[in-house]
Structure formats: C-alpha cells, structure tokens
A and B are shown apart, each in its own frame.
Chain A
Amino acid sequence: MEPAAGITLDNNHKLSLKELPYLIRWRDDRCKRCGRCTAVCPVKAIEPGVRVQRVTFSEGPVPKPGSQRRVVHVVEQVLDAARNCVGCATCSLVCPNEAIEPELNPNNKILHYKNTGGDGYKRGGRRNDPSISVLDRLKFTRISMLTDPALDAGRHEFRVRSLLGRILPPEELPLKAVDGRLIVDSRAGRFIPPVREIFPIMIGSMSVGALSPPMWEGLAMGIAYLNEVEGLPVVMASGEGGMPPRLLRSRYLKYFIIQIASGYFGWDEIVRALPHMVEDPAAIEIKYGQGAKPGDGGLLMAQKVLKLISGIRGVPQFVDLASPPTHQTKYSIEEAVAKMIQSMSMAWGFRVPVYPKISGTKTARAVLNNLARNPFAAALSIDGEDGGTGAAYNVSLDKMGHPIASNLRECYLDLVRQGKQNELPLIAAGGVGKRGNLAANAAALIMLGASVVSIGKYIMQSAANCFGDEHNRCNLCNTGKCPRGITTQDPKLYRRLDADIVAMRTVEVFKSANTELKKIFAPMGRSTELPIGMSDGLSIDDKAMAERLGISYAC
C-alpha cells in the first residue's frame, strides 16, 4: 500500500530521545563552544551541530528587542542506539562552564534496540540492579554490653586475619606428645597442606588486559605496600592473562594469586618463569566460572589486545580472546578437576594452595562436596551474580547467576553438617561493597560463613573513580574506551590514570576497611579470631530471608 499522502517516512525509523537511557542536558547560555565534551565522549553520543535559529536580541543605547535568523553552533545528542549516551559524564568532567551533563531517563527502552547486527548487547561492568542487596540489609545486632564488655576498637588488640589453604582436621595432625610437649612427627609421613594467613578481604581476579597497565600496576604496588609497610597481608588475584614477567620473577609474587582459566592465556610466560621464581605465589586459582557471566568463558575484545597484552598472553594483536566456557580437559569433576588441582600443586612442589573458583549456582554444593573429599583442594571461591566483568552479554550480566548470600550460607552449613567448616575455606564474592559498605558487607559474609571476601568493582571505584553504577552508567569496559583509563589498552586513555594514585587509594581502602572491620567486631566482643559463621550476630528485616539464611529476624 502507498503511504498516506503528506506523511514522510524519513524519521520513522529514528529513535526519539525518550528511548535513550541518558539525556544530555546542554545549556546554550553557558557553553563556550570549546568542543571538549564532543571530543572526549567515549561513545560519540554528542556531536557539534550547526543550526539556523531565530535569535532575539536587544542592543543599542536604548535597547530595543529585535529578532534575527542566525547560524548557531550547538551540541546535539545522537539518536542512534549504537551511540547512545551511557551517562558516564566525562563531558561534565571536562566542561569548563558546567554547561553539559547527562540525566538518567528511567523510562528508556534502549534494550529493545541494542541488538543491531543480530548480536546481543555486550558490555562490561555489573548487574544493573539498583535495589538494596541482601548484603546491605544484614545488620549486626548482637552487641556486647553488660553481660560482656564491648571492646575498644581503637585501643584493644585485634587480629583481623584469615586462612587460605586446606586445613587438616585436628585428628590428622602429625603430632605426638614427648615429655608432656607436642612435637611435629616428621616420620609420620603426613602431607601438611600449605596454608596462608591473609587479610580477609582480597582483590579478586582482574586480568592484565582487562585492566590498563597503570590500573593493574597501581593495584599491585598498593598490595606490595600494604604487605611490606602497613603489615596488612592483603593478596590480589591475577585474573586470566598472566602477569608481568618481571613480577613473576620478583619477591613480590608471594602477594599474588595466579589464575588459570580455560583459555590458559599467559601461562606460556608463567611456565617459562617457573624455574626463575624466587618466591611462591600466594595461591593458584582455577577459574571455572564467574558470577557476572555464569557459563561464559572470559572475553577480551580485539580492541584491547594491543602489543603489551599480545606479548604477555602469547597471541596475535587485535583478535578477540574468548576463553571457552569450560576447560577443554574437563570431563568430570571427579577426574579432571582433581587432576588439575594436583597438577597445579605439583608444579610448585605442593607448597602453594590451589583452589577453584565457580560462579554462584544452585549446584555449588555438589562442587563443594566433591572438593571436601579432595585433600588437595585448598578452598572454594564462589562468585555471586553481582560480580563484575570486563566484557559479557548484557543478558548474562543482568539475568544469569545466583546471589551470593544464600549460596554461601548453604555451602557453609553443608560443611558444618560434615564437620569440615574449618577444613575448606570459602571465598565469597559478588556485590561486596556495591553501595560502598565494604567492611559491613565483608563482615556479614564472614559471619555467614566466608573465610575470605573478594572484591573487584569496589576497588575500581574507590581507587580509580570508575564511573559505573547500577543504572548502566558507563559500563564500557569491553570497548577499550574506558574514559577513566581503567579498562583500556589505549595509551591516550590510560595516560589519564596515575598508577601512584591508584596505589595510594588501594592502601587507603584496605586500611580503612581494617579499621571498620574492627568497629564491627569490637561491639560484638570479637577480636582474636575472625567470627566465621557467627550467625547469631546477624539479623535481617525480612522473615523469609532470615529463615533462608538461618539467622534471626529483626524489625
């Protein structure tokens, strides 16, 4: 049928501003047309434009209003789903006159259009869920007072430390009493698994490649400073993608957990460095899953595979580096996981704890029970749905995965039922510090049963001012266009980031977390050992959640 007379179709397939997630608020009167905003926009969502407008003006010794049609220069928002404003507000950051800022459009329909070319919407960042998480709803309600004096967080001696590694049950310790004194019976031939004493919050796996050189370097410097100067044994995981060769051969390696994942990226270099290592790494993490994109492998998009990354990973430049969703050697958990744990253990002479990381899932207990029976498994890391990533399909980020709180709790209680709660440490991650409450979220997870808590997004925000939030702000980590220089390999962008400031902020974050953990543990009367599984200290304002977590309901 012919179109109705008088109606043009020119604009019919264009989006209207209402469809876009962020609307640019640009002020003509303030803008001096310097062009910084349009130059800096990482997605080219704004453009300089030229329009003919009727302009009203008054001039002369006795001003009299008049009007004129003039050519004016404006900043315009692009109506293209591929270039929608992501709300990062880098434009506001560079504007000298506060003339521009993005504004969230809560009624946007952008997800309907982010599938051009027949591919799903890919992005980085986190799950877009601005609601208050379970971790933030947990309260610490058991306050020592008259029956037991509360401790002075500032002056009492505290020990905020945890253990990473397989811990022998007391019955299996190779001890014997000689003249009323216990000695280690070296002739018993008992293997004593390696155990590390660490700060209970660690930096989770973010790879060289996903992160820019100054970001990764800044975190690594902060970690070394925390250990060597501040005496806080914080460890950091490498992510899949290897580590800088010099670091592998340095004495600082002991503060790092090296990850091996299904793409084995970076392991050529690691294996080559093995004979030259002067220290053992803190641990080896075998990645089987990631909370942000369960069932997906790692993904480093071609635009981030520059020279440095291709060198470390041993791959050509500018190709997508997609790790398979599963390890190709994996046939069954009984066979291949056990073998992989043993192979990794053997590579370092059984001196390094080796543990798997999985995404939060209903099947976590099955994995856990298998590991509980494997005497070489050093821990289990569970990454909940609120974990972040450098690149994933939006559908995986938003809709796949299991919340960490109940997943961790059921795993811990399963270990309790088997009497193995002290043998296999649980590492919990995914949404820790989502709303800035790092210490409180970490303490809550510890009291639900975690031995160690792992963070990612929190440190990116705190140490490097990442723009991301739960309203899909920025989340450009996959594109290599990170406006903060955190997740990019483009020197023009990562030069914006100062590794020394990242290191300094990393130190500040962990020092303050240490203080805040004491402020939580002190009123609960705990100072000597980490209150792992001290669930009587927790309450929540929802009966169903309280029942699910096996804690009290308080309102």
Chain B
Amino acid sequence: MCRLAAITSNDYFSPMENILALETMKEGHDGSGLGLTLKDLGGEFEGLKRYPILSGVGSKKGMEMLDSYMKRKGFKLIHNWSPSLNPVRGIAAREYYFARAYAVPGSCAEGSFSDCEDLLLKTRLELRHLGEPDQSLFVFSFYPDVLTLKEVGDPLEVGEFFGLDRGALKSRICFAQGRQNTNYAIYLYACHPFFIQGYCTMTNGENTAFVPIREYLESRGIPGYMGYNSDSEVFAHILHYTVRHLGMPLRYYKDVITPLMKESELEKRSDKDALRLMRQSLRPLCIDGPNCVIGFTPDGTTFMLQDAKKLRPGVVGGVHGKYAIMSEECGVDSAVPKRDRSTDVFPMKYDMVTISPHAQEVTVWNQLQG
C-alpha cells in the first residue's frame, strides 16, 4: 500500500520532515520509490515566485533537447537548481535532476494567467512527448512556485541521495509519497504526486474503476489528460476537471468521486437537485475505491478525503500554523509531535477535511450536510 505524507505550514520547512514521517510508516510501504511535490517555495526559490519552474530528470541528450526547445519557444532561463547528489547504494543516479525557473515568452506574459497556464501545460506535454520515447527526459511539473522530485528507491535513501537533509530546499506545502506503483510497471511517470495546472493529488489504495475513468478523461479533449501510467493519476485530473474546467467549488470534488447514492442521503442536501444531475452526468468519474486522496489546489488549500471502502482512514493532525495530512497516525506524530492528539481528525466516508492556506484553519465537511 502507498504511504502518504503531506504537510502544510505557515513557515517554510524541509521536505525531510515528510520523508521522516514516511520512514515511520515504513512497515506499510516497500521502499520502492519517492515522489515529492513542493508548493509555495522558500530558500533560493523564495524570490522567484512568479516564474514557472520546470521540474524533471534528463540525460545529457535530453538536457540539450530541453535547452534547444525552450530557447526556440522563447523561454528564458532565470534560475537553475540541481540537487547536490550523494551516492547511495541501490539508487542508480540519472545524469541530471533539475528544477529550472524560466521567464515566460512576452506574448504569454501579456496575456491572462489562464492562457499562461495553458502554455506551460502545453510546453510540459511537448517536452514529455520529445523525451519519453528514449527516456532521455522526464518532466513532472511546469508551474510557478511548484517543484517536483521523483526517484525510485527507499524514500529515506532517496532523500539522502538528493541531499535534502542539508535543508536547502524548503516550502510551505510538501507532499510526499513512498512506494512506486506496483500494480503497474515501475516508471517515473507512474509515481505520485501527480500535478496539473496548480492541482495536485496523491492517493493510496487501488482504483478499481480505473479503465472507464481513464477512457472518460482521455475523451474530454483536454490537454494533459494523458499518461495514466498509474491508476492514481486520474484523481489529479478529476480534481482539475471538476474545479478548473467545470468551475465547481472544491467540495464538489467529493460529490464527483464519491457521490451520494441513496435518495435518503440526497434529501438532506440543499443542493440535491444539482447533485442528482451531477450524479448522472459525472457517473463515469465515480471512483468505487478503496482510495484515500490527498490534494492541494492553486490557492494553497490542502485536503483529504476517502471513499466508503477505505476501511482504515487517513489522519489529519497538527497545530495552528502546521498540519500533517498522513495515511498513518505515526506519520502525524513524526511531523507534529507536540499537538493535542484528541483533535486529530480521521475522516470517514462522508467527510472531507480541508486546511486553508498557511495552515490557518481545519474544516471537516460532512457530505450529508449543506
């Protein structure tokens, strides 16, 4: 089972905190990989918040291709970060791990942010297309103030390998997922968290409705709904589809992936008429679980929810200004040891826990209410 460790905070912190939390959950993962997505970056990226950051891995050939492509498209390199690698046994180092901040082309800078987001997505997809056949280039995210690192191996060792223990890399939100996908082939693009245009999710459990959901998303005609090397990638895209494309408030994400099925339940909702229509029109996106989903949205809101089949819930705990959203309670103990454990939240099948940006407020919304 995947283990998930997310932290949202008012202060910058090191992703090592997430990795150490994952380490406490080690009984539950097989140490086959680590994915990290950082949002609201500190350290050397603190002054670069308006520049999109391209995160990825490449060979020498891939990096040359990247440079030439970005130059041709009018992106100007502003800042180049690479982890200072420590050799670790068992992790085969690839040639270049990078996070590069670019100035966008003039035409984009003058347009709306939405248009700019579309250009960034298009650029990432084209780079993926160029680099995937010979695996010379992997790109995970291209978005302002977001950085992604992924590698196969034990999470703690991968953290050491990237030199994250030295504390250079910091952020206010960090998502970490331990364990590569074992239902499908181990592959960098199959590693959570998954990111698209400011929306990010990571998931544990198995998505039994994966194929119809994938077919539905792929047939939306929306760029970026592709890949699906893991059954978990659909959760990020459903979030993007619900909130960005359909313009629904975030909490309706819960109503899309785990809709209320009984009329007696629907009757309790003041928006039942809308829900009835949604349940029909968005029927293919019902996940059927068992899954626990942790995600963030472009404004920095983080959330956790799960479906009815997820028998052991995830947990949210912390203090004002710092909350941990984990698949296991020992992870929360690691990340925020000094807290009132009686206030920890274990979201059940109807619950959606959201934490406002900068970890100011925790809200538990029950799907039967409202």
Contact = CB atoms under 8 A, between A and B. Distances in A.
B297 to A, nearest CB: 14
Given A183-B271, A526-B288, A532 B212 contact: yes
Given A151-B309, A192-B277, A181 B270 contact: yes
B208 A169 contact: no
The B interface is mostly helix, strand or loop, or mixed, namely loop
Contacts of A536: 210-211
A417 B218 CA distance: 9
B280 A417 contact: no
Contacts of B261: 159, 528
Interface string A393-425: 000000000000000000000001111011000
Interface string A512-555: 00000000000011111101111110000000000000000000
Contact of B278 (A148, A170, A532): A170
Interface in B288-319: 288-290, 307-309, 311
A184 B278 contact: no
A422 B216 contact: yes
B270 A534 contact: no
Interface in B203-225: 205-206, 208-212, 215-216, 219-221
Nearest to A417: B219
Contacts of B274: 173, 175, 182-184
Contacts of A535: 211
B283 interface: yes
A148 B208 contact: yes
A52 B14 CA distance: 109
Nearest to A525: B208
A422 B248 CA distance: 20
Contacts of B289: 525, 528
B232 to A, nearest CB: 12
Interface string A140-161: 0000100111010000010100
Contacts of B133: none
B290 A148 contact: yes
Given A149-B311, A170-B282, A416-B219, A177 B212 contact: no
A195 interface: yes
Nearest to A168: B281
A417 B216 CA distance: 9
B359 interface: no
B370 interface: yes
A526 B216 CA distance: 17
Given A177-B249, A181-B249, A418-B219, A169 B281 contact: yes
Contacts of B209: 526, 529, 531, 534
A163 B208 CA distance: 20
B273 interface: yes
A530 to B, nearest CB: 9
A290 to B, nearest CB: 29
Contacts of A419: 216, 219-221
Contacts of A119: none
A167 B283 CA distance: 10
Counting contact residues on chain A (CB < 8 A from B), the size range is 35 or more
Given A148-B290, A419-B220, A526 B277 contact: no
Interface string B238-251: 00000001111101
Contacts of B259: 528
Q: Choose among B183, B259, B278, B281 the residue with the greatest number of A CB atoms under 10 Å from its CB.
A: B281
A335 interface: no
B28 interface: no
A525 B216 CA distance: 19
Contacts of B247: 177
A65 interface: no
Contacts of B275: 182
A180 B219 contact: no
Given A173-B278, A181-B370, A421 B284 contact: yes
B212 A163 contact: no
B286 interface: yes
A147 B183 contact: yes
A480 B52 CA distance: 78
B248 A177 contact: yes
Interface string A415-446: 01111011000000000000000000000000
A251 B172 CA distance: 61
A91 B216 CA distance: 56
A175 B283 CA distance: 16
B219 A525 contact: no
B252 interface: yes
B208 A526 contact: yes
A528 B216 CA distance: 17
A184 B270 CA distance: 11
Contact of A421 (B219, B251, B278): B219
A528 B289 CA distance: 9
Interface in A162-204: 163, 167-171, 173, 175, 177, 180-184, 192, 195
B288 A528 contact: yes
Contacts of A418: 219
Contacts of A416: 215-216, 219
Nearest to B210: A536
23 contacts: A144-B206, A144-B208, A148-B208, A149-B311, A151-B309, A159-B261, A163-B283, A168-B281, A173-B277, A173-B281, A181-B370, A182-B248, A182-B249, A182-B252, A184-B277, A418-B219, A422-B216, A527-B288, A528-B286, A529-B286, A531-B209, A533-B215, A534-B212
Complex A-B, nearest 8 residue pairs according to Cβ-Cβ distance, in ascending order: A148-B206, A419-B219, A525-B208, A182-B274, A536-B211, A529-B286, A533-B212, A170-B281
Interface of B: 182-183, 205-206, 208-212, 215-216, 219-221, 245-249, 251-252, 258-259, 261, 270-271, 273-275, 277-278, 280-284, 286, 288-290, 307-309, 311, 370
Interface of A: 144, 147-149, 151, 157, 159, 163, 167-171, 173, 175, 177, 180-184, 192, 195, 416-419, 421-422, 524-529, 531-536
Given A177-B247, A177-B249, A182-B271, 6 more contacts: A148-B208, A171-B245, A181-B370, A184-B273, A422-B284, A526-B288
